[in-house]
Every structure is written in structure tokens, then in C-alpha cells.
Amino acid sequence: MDVDSETVSKGEEEQRKAIVLILVGAPGSGKSTFCDHVMRVSTRPWVRICQDTIGNGKSGTKTQCLMNAASALKDGKSVFIDRCNLDREQRADFVKLGGPQIDVHAVVLDLPAKLCISRSVKRTGHEGNLQGGKAAAVVNRMLQKKELPKLSEGFSRITFCQNETDVQAAVRTYNALGPLDTLPSGCFGQKNPEAKIQLGIMKFLKKVDAPVIAGSDATSSQDSVAKELWNKGLKSDSSSSANAVKEVKDGGELAVGSVVATATLDNVPTLAFPSISTADFQFNLEKASDIIVEKVEEFVTAQKNIDSSKFLTFVGDITHLYSGGGLRCNVIANAANWRLKPGGGGVNAAIFSAAGPALETATKERAGSLVPGKSVVVPLPSTSPLFSREGVTHVIHVVGPNMNPQRPNCLNNDYIKGCKVLREAYSSLFEGFASIVRSQEMLSKENNEKLGSGLLESHDHFELSHLNQFPNSDQKVKREDVYESERSKKCKGLQDEIGSRITDCTDAKDKLNSEKINGNMTKAWGSWAQALYHVAMHPERHKEDVIEMSDDVVVLNDLYPKAQKHLLVLVRSEGLDCLADACKEHLLLLRTMHAMGLKWAEKFSSEDESLVFRLGYHSAPSMQQLHLHVISQDFNSKHLKNKKHWNSFNSAFFRDSVDVIEEISKHGKATLKDEDSLLSMELRCHRCRSAHPNIPRLKSHISNCRAPFPASLIQNERLVCASKKDSINQ
């Protein structure tokens, strides 16, 4: 090689930009085929990174994929990341491979689920062994977690393909890409998620002429967020209080913005929240406003009982929304520190100061600390000035990501992690608000059914159930006065089709002594059997046992677990002692229980991919208070001792949560199985169904059994596992 040609070669090398092309799609969407077509034709050097074959032709790990991709990029080659990559977290580490000389692209094969399933079921000899009958369940499960990529994740180019024509066009684009060629940046194809979010926000603001932004203060930081939100479709205005009140009265349930306040109609639960992490915690304003818009749209779409046309924003003091601006917001969010204590500056200091010592005391009863991305709902005592002056009944503490080096847990400008945490923070905040709305709706319905009879709810639930009667300042009735008048009433008892229910209104034991179980049978609950009820009604008294709680449910470890992981999700509502009590009006609550159980199952499975879970109910439980079992299928526990223990989780006596929800939705009640005949059945392995004479022999067998789970369990997502490989069939 002469000197001139060597110089040209070096110049070309300096101009060449490698590409990390992350393929996004379900099994059967055509990711591997896409790679093959491009690699056969393109003059650009490509390397395909496939987790199914990364370990010398066998399945490997994500870490191996990252290492091989980094090595190929170092050699000047472009790489295909051939994995499903269906959620942001799975893509994040591969996006980080990008740099000044490396572009990060995504091709999204967003083809119809039926097509992906059909392909997966029919194929043979698949690298990842995902084929045949088991493929359908896996594809369906993975698609439920689909999260389309966005440029804000760090991509320079995203191509969306909704059909085969789109896929062929994308193949041709990359086939034509030479070693020195580059492609324009941006989103291409029919589905642009950022544009969708902007249009969605504009659509639900359309009916509000002068939306406003609500904030904890009117600092320049908050004003900057307002400007960013304006650019992204959320209008802001700092008009006078009078104009703001006029717009509120025209209608508005939830307001978002730099501090997003919920303007309210009378008697409608409302939320006001600040822009999390943008002031004291120095989070990038543009990125933060992107996430606010995204999460608001997501929440409004999911919550059918929230009118999206009534969103508005307001600049003002979040601790004086009613007295200072006329906005009636009975739930406010606090951008808290992880210790959940007063101090610092901005929103946290302002809310704790305005609420007085009552908030700090109430917070300690709920939680001692929070990790970033989480929130906790705290009912505000009626002694708090925020309650009496502003009508605030609940404060939701939420901890966001920190980019301020003067604060703990600084992320040092790691915005991939920071954006993930901020999304989690808003999701947790909105779910906390939704739980308050659901609780109020449920209790309002129960109160109507009771027709004024004196079954007294717990204090927290009492506050929720009377949200509609006040805090309108026109009504000068104090909450504690109403509480005392209710408490003084005599318990008249409740009549239903199975007779009277006896209540005790003198303290938290005001629980029915007998309940309907499966038809005409009744069951009396002994004092030992009421332990779960007491935990559900007063979780603050059982902090050592409770691992998570919301207004709807409490989560705790089973005291006598029958497997490595065995949790109980308890409902916090009165009158739901067992599955026989559940009917259509409880569907939302059952889905909340299922979602909570699913979250914990997926958490444990992600930590240990060998774990597989079932979520379900006992047909006739031994403990009072409806509870969902979340139990791993290893059954490796010293507490699993007899036939009844085994069959209560491995016969038709155990009703899968998904089936219960489906049956109640269609028929109004769940099918309950006969207790005695099922619990006395012979011992059979839950995988291969082989019979065994006793528990020790059965345990010895299941510790080594690798048979696939029965098809009946694989269908309808009755089994939960987080492994990319179909471990439930291995």
C-alpha cells in the first residue's frame, strides 16, 4: 500500500460511523430474518448479536451480548442487537454503546400479535427453542410489557414497521447503506410516540380555554417547566386568581404542570402535584417535562373515571391552592426527601411547614423512608391547618431522582437511570391518587347500600367516605364533629339474604362474626383466624410484618410459607372475608390485588430466573379477610408438611386469580370447589402428575422433576416467570 492510499484509508476510517441497530419486536416478528437479509446484501460490515446463540451456539446472557457488541464496534463494525428489547430497561444498556462515532438506531417490528404467534407456533428448529404450542403464551406475555422506543432514550433514528411492506422498506434502506453512509435522524413510519403524546395532550386540553399551571411556588425553575410544557402541548397561564377560578368552575378534575394542580368540580377527588426533581434536585427541565407529558397521557388513558378534557395547569403556591387561587384540591403531592422528614427547601419544606406536626406524625405511621421512584399515601389528620384551611385530605409523598451533588443518592447526570426513576415516581404518584379515588367510590357505594345504618369504618376510610360532604368552606362542619356524631349512633346491623350481620362499633374489631361461604354454608371465625383481618384494617400496627401497603391492599410474607417465596396480598375492605363474597362490584379491587401480586412475582423472578409463580385464592380459606396467594412453584419449605397443605395449592381447590377475575366478570361470582374431596386427594406432582405415597417422597421427586408444567397452567398466563427463555416448560 502506497502512502497516498494509506492516507485515504485513514481518512475514510475517521469519517465512518458505526451503527448499533437495536431490533425491537416479539418472538416471530422477523428480527433474525431482517438481520439475514441485510447482512447478505449490505456492503457495510455487520455483526449479529443474538442472545439465543451467544454462548457458542447456545443461549447466553445479556452481559455476553454487551461484551461482544462492544468488541465488534471497537473493530469498526456495525452491530445488530437481535433480542426482543420490548421495554426501555432491556434497551438501556445497549443504547449506552453509542458515542461520537457510533449512532444508535432502532427498527421496531410492531407486527400484529396473531402473525407473530402464528409464525412462532409453526416454526421448527428455532435457535431459542421457542416454537410449537408453548410459543403462543410466551408471545402474549411479552407483548403485554411492550414499551415502544422513543428518541429521548438516546436513539438517533427509529423506524416503525406495522406490516410486511414497512419491513421490506426498512430492509432496503439498510441494504443500501454503504460503509461511509449515514441515515437522517428522527422517527420514521406511521407510529411516532412523541407526536402521539403531544397530540393527545392537546386533544384533552382542547375544551379548556385558559389552562393554568399549579406550583408550590412561582420560582424561575417552575416557570421554566411551564415554558417547556407549553412547547410540548400543555398550555400554561399566570392569569389572575379570578380567571383561574372561572376556568375551574367551567370544569376540571386533574391539572398538571410545573406544579400540576387538579382543578376540581365540587365533590370530585382532585390532585395537585409539583414537577418532581426539577428544583432542589436539579433534573433537566426539558427531559422532566417530556416525562410529565408522557405519564399524564398514560394515566388518563388508563383511568376511565377521569375526564381527560378537564386537565389544566396553574402557577401558584401548592399550600394555598384554595385560599390563594380558588382551586379545590383535596390531594396534594410532595416532592419529598428519602427520609420523609421536614427540611431542605422548596416543596418539601413548604408542605411540612403548612401542614404542621400532624403530617410528620401521620407520615411516620405509614413509612420511615422511601427509595427514589416510590411514593406513599398519607391521610392528613383533621388537626392539620392544610386540612381545615385548604381542604387537603391526603398528602402523597413521592421521591424522584437526584442530580444535585449536594443531596444524597446523586446520579451524576446519568439520565438513562434518572428518566427511568422519574417515570416510576410519576406512575407511583398517579397510582396512589387512583387508589384514593377507588376507595372513595367503593365506600360511597357501600354507604348508599347501608342506607344510613351505623357500620363504622376505620378512621382512614371514614375520612375518604366523607370527602364529598366537605371540605367546601361553605359548610362549617368540622370533620371531627361528624366523626363523633357517627360514632354515637347505635349499630343497627345490616340485613342481607343470609340474615343479620352482627357488628361491634366500639373499636377496630367491628367485624362480622359470621360470613357466607359458598352458597348457604356459613363459617364462624375464631380469634386466631382474624389475624389477617387485623393486619388489613390496621397495617400501621404491624409494620414488622407488612412489606407494602396502599389504600386498597396490604402485602406481607406468609407466616408459614409453603415455598421459597410465598406472599399474601390482603384486601383492606370490610365485608370481603373470602372468595364467596366477591362479586362484579369488586372486580376493580380484584384486579388491583392481581396487579400487586404480579409485581412482586415479577420482581422475585427477575432476581432468580428459576422461580415460577402462581397467583390464586383458596376456595374456602382458613383465615378471615380475602387474600391472594403469590407462591413460587418450587414448594421448597419446611412448613409444607401434609396432604392438605399440598392439595390446597395443587388441586382445583386453588383458584387462579386470572380465572377468578374472568368468571366474576362473566357470571358475577367465582366457582368454588368442594373442600373435603379435593384436599384429601392423593399426592401428585404438579408438573408430571406422578403419584407419591407421602410428602417426603413427593418433595424428593419435585426437587428433581424437570417435566413441563401442564398445558392448563401455561394457558391464560396462570404461571408467571421473568426469564426470557421459556423456563416454565423446562
What is the sign of the dihedral through the CA atoms of 455, 456, 457 and 462?
positive
What is the sign of the dihedral through the CA atoms of 31, 34, 39 and 43?
negative
What is the mean predicted confidence (pLDDT) over 493-515? 33
Residue 21 scores a pLDDT above 70: yes
State residue 14's pLDDT score: 46
State residue 445's pLDDT score: 62
State residue 625's pLDDT score: 93
Grid cell listed for 429: 404518584
Of 3-12, 106-115, 458-467, 586-595, the range with the highest mean pLDDT is: 586-595
52: domain CATH number is 3.40.50.300
Is 50 contained in some domain? yes
Angle made by CA atoms 529, 530, 534, in degrees to the nearest 5: 150
Residues 214, 186 share a domain: no
- The answer for residues whose C-beta is within 8 angstroms of residue 594's C-beta and 6 or more apart is 615, 628, 657, 658, 661
CB 177 within 8 A of CB 159: no
Position of cell 357470571? 667
Max Cα–Cα distance, the chain, nearest Å: 104
Is 75 contained in some domain? yes
Grid cell listed for 396: 402523597
Of 60-74, 254-268, 325-339, the range with the highest mean pLDDT is: 60-74
What does the DSSP assignment read for 414-434? -HHHHHHHHHHHHHHHHHHHH
Which stretches of 535-597 are assigned E, i.e. beta strand?
Answer: 546-549, 553-557, 566-571
CA distance 581 to 588: 14
SS3 635: coil
What is the sign of the dihedral through the CA atoms of 616, 595, 534 and 454?
negative
Q: Where among 130, 161, 191 does a domain terminate? A: 191
Quick one: which of 677, 681, 674, 679 has its CA closest to 521?
Answer: 674
CA distance 644 to 173: 63
CA distance 673 to 652: 7
The H or E element containing residue 379 is strand 375-379
CA distance 47 to 481: 73
Domain that holds residue 557: 522-729
Residue 25 scores a pLDDT above 50: yes
Q: How confident is the model at residue 529 (pLDDT cuts 50, 70, 90)?
A: confident
Q: How confident is the model at residue 5 (pLDDT cuts 50, 70, 90)?
A: very low
State residue 209's pLDDT score: 26
Q: How confident is the model at residue 328 (pLDDT cuts 50, 70, 90)?
A: confident
Q: Where among 133, 156, 191 does a domain terminate? A: 191
CA distance 593 to 581: 15
Residues 104, 28 share a domain: yes
State residue 167's pLDDT score: 93
What does the DSSP assignment read for 88-120? HHHHHHHHTT-BTTEEEEEEEE---HHHHHHHH
Residues 377, 229 share a domain: yes
Grid cell listed for 639: 412448613
566: domain CATH number is 3.30.428.10
State residue 153's pLDDT score: 87
Residues 154, 50 share a domain: yes
Is 456 contained in some domain? no
CA distance 551 to 41: 58
The count of structural domains within the chain is 3
The b-or-e profile of 8-45 (16+ CB within 10 A means b, else e) is: eeeeeeeebbbbbbbbbbbbbbbbbebbebbbeebebe
What is the mean predicted confidence (pLDDT) over 71-87? 93
Q: For the segment 604-656, what is each residue's pLDDT rounded down to a tens digit?
A: 998 898 899 999 999 989 899 999 999 999 999 999 999 999 999 999 999 99
Grid cell listed for 699: 418433595
Residue 258 scores a pLDDT above 80: no
CA 457 from chain centre, in angstroms, equals 28
Residues 232, 183 share a domain: no
SS3 335: strand
Residues 216, 187 share a domain: no
Conformation bin of residue 658: beta by default, left when phi > 0, alpha when psi is -120 to 50: alpha
What is the mean predicted confidence (pLDDT) over 670-681? 82
Among 141-155, 165-179, 415-429, name the one with the lowest average pLDDT.
Answer: 141-155
State residue 140's pLDDT score: 76
Higher pLDDT, 50 or 13: 50
Backbone φ and ψ for 465, nearest 5 degrees, come out as -70, -20
Tell me what the pLDDT averaged over the chain comes to: 74
Higher pLDDT, 175 or 307: 175
Q: How confident is the model at residue 725 (pLDDT cuts 50, 70, 90)?
A: very low
Residues 223, 186 share a domain: no
What is the mean predicted confidence (pLDDT) over 175-195? 73
Q: How confident is the model at residue 304 (pLDDT cuts 50, 70, 90)?
A: low
In the annotation, is 639 catalytic?
no
Is 402 contained in some domain? yes
State residue 192's pLDDT score: 37
CB 618 within 8 A of CB 699: no
State residue 259's pLDDT score: 39
Of 138-152, 435-449, 505-519, the range with the highest mean pLDDT is: 138-152
Q: How many other CB atoms are found less than 10 A from the CB of residue 343?
A: 9
Residues 652, 528 share a domain: yes
Is 459 contained in some domain? no
Quick one: which of 29, 111, 144 has its CA closest to 716?
Answer: 144
What does the DSSP assignment read for 224-291? HHHHHHHHTT-------HHHHHHHHHH--SBB-STEE-----TT---EEEE-TTSSTT---HHHHHHH
State residue 138's pLDDT score: 75
Is 47 contained in some domain? yes
What is the mean predicted confidence (pLDDT) over 397-415? 88
Q: How confident is the model at residue 728 (pLDDT cuts 50, 70, 90)?
A: low
Catalytic hit among 397, 627, 629, 686: 627
Residues 689, 603 share a domain: yes
Residues 169, 119 share a domain: yes
Residues 217, 141 share a domain: no
SS3 177: coil
The b-or-e profile of 212-243 (16+ CB within 10 A means b, else e) is: bbbbbbbbebbbbbbebbbebbbbbbeeeeee
Q: Where among 394, 419, 439 does a domain terminate? A: 439
What is the mean predicted confidence (pLDDT) over 211-224? 37
State residue 234's pLDDT score: 47
Q: How confident is the model at residue 699 (pLDDT cuts 50, 70, 90)?
A: very high
Among 12-16, 57-61, 260-264, 429-433, name the one with the lowest average pLDDT.
Answer: 260-264
Q: For the segment 483-501, what is each residue's pLDDT rounded down to a tens digit?
A: 333 333 333 333 333 233 3
Q: Please give the single-letter amino acid code of residue 238.
A: S
Q: How many other CB atoms are found less than 10 A from the CB of residue 527?
A: 8
Is 210 contained in some domain? yes
Q: Please give the single-letter amino acid code of residue 663.
A: E
Is 460 contained in some domain? no
Position of cell 407486527? 111
CA distance 447 to 466: 10
Q: Please give the single-letter amino acid code of residue 69.
A: A
State residue 571's pLDDT score: 94
Residues 221, 155 share a domain: no
The CB-based long-range contact list for 39-46 (8 Å cut-off, 24+ gap) reads 39/80, 41/175, 42/174, 42/175, 42/176, 42/177, 43/178, 43/179, 44/19, 44/78, 44/177, 44/178, 44/179, 44/181, 45/76, 45/77, 45/78, 45/179, 46/77, 46/78, 46/79, 46/80
CB 136 within 8 A of CB 59: no
Backbone φ and ψ for 123, nearest 5 degrees, come out as -75, 155
The b-or-e profile of 346-364 (16+ CB within 10 A means b, else e) is: bbbbbbbebbbebbeebbe
State residue 56's pLDDT score: 81
Grid cell listed for 576: 370481603
Higher pLDDT, 254 or 652: 652
Q: How confident is the model at residue 294 (pLDDT cuts 50, 70, 90)?
A: confident
Among 126-135, 150-159, 673-682, name the one with the lowest average pLDDT.
Answer: 126-135
